[in-house]
Amino acid sequence: MLETQKLVEEIRREQHITPFEKDETLIGYIKEGQYDINKTCGEDINYEIDLKARSLLKNYVLYARGKKLAEFKQLYIGAYSELQAEYYKPTDVQ
């Protein structure tokens, strides 16, 4: 599955996060983002393989750090919809 520490370091580099922000905080945001994205898509996504989902997760962390998750949801609703469509599994339930 997702190697969390590797993702923490990747986010630190990409978002220019200072060493003063604790790894535990970033890990918390990552877990929250994974839960939110997985729940919305109805699937346990492998973020190592699905790079679109990985990018969405990293953006989730960016907005969570800025306390702007409502804005994130508005801006990235299309990305959520794409992932939902990609992971949709039809059933025989009528």
Grouped pLDDT means (10 residues each) for the chain, 94 residues? 84 93 95 95 93 97 96 96 88 64
94 assigned to some structural domain: no
43 assigned to some structural domain: yes
The three state secondary structure string of the chain is CCCHHHHHHHHHHHCCCCCCCCHHHHHHHHHHHHHHHHHHHCCCCCCCCCHHHHHHHHHHHHHHHCCCHHHHHHHCHHHHHHHHHHHCCCCCCC
92 assigned to some structural domain: no
pLDDT for 88: 83
Which residue segment(s) compose the domain that 44 sits in?
4-86
25 assigned to some structural domain: yes
Give me 70's structure tokens. Answer: 């409502």
Q: In terms of C-beta density within 10 A (0-12 exposed, 13-18 middle, 19 or more buried), how is residue 74 classed?
A: exposed
Number of domains forming the structure of the chain:
1
23 assigned to some structural domain: yes
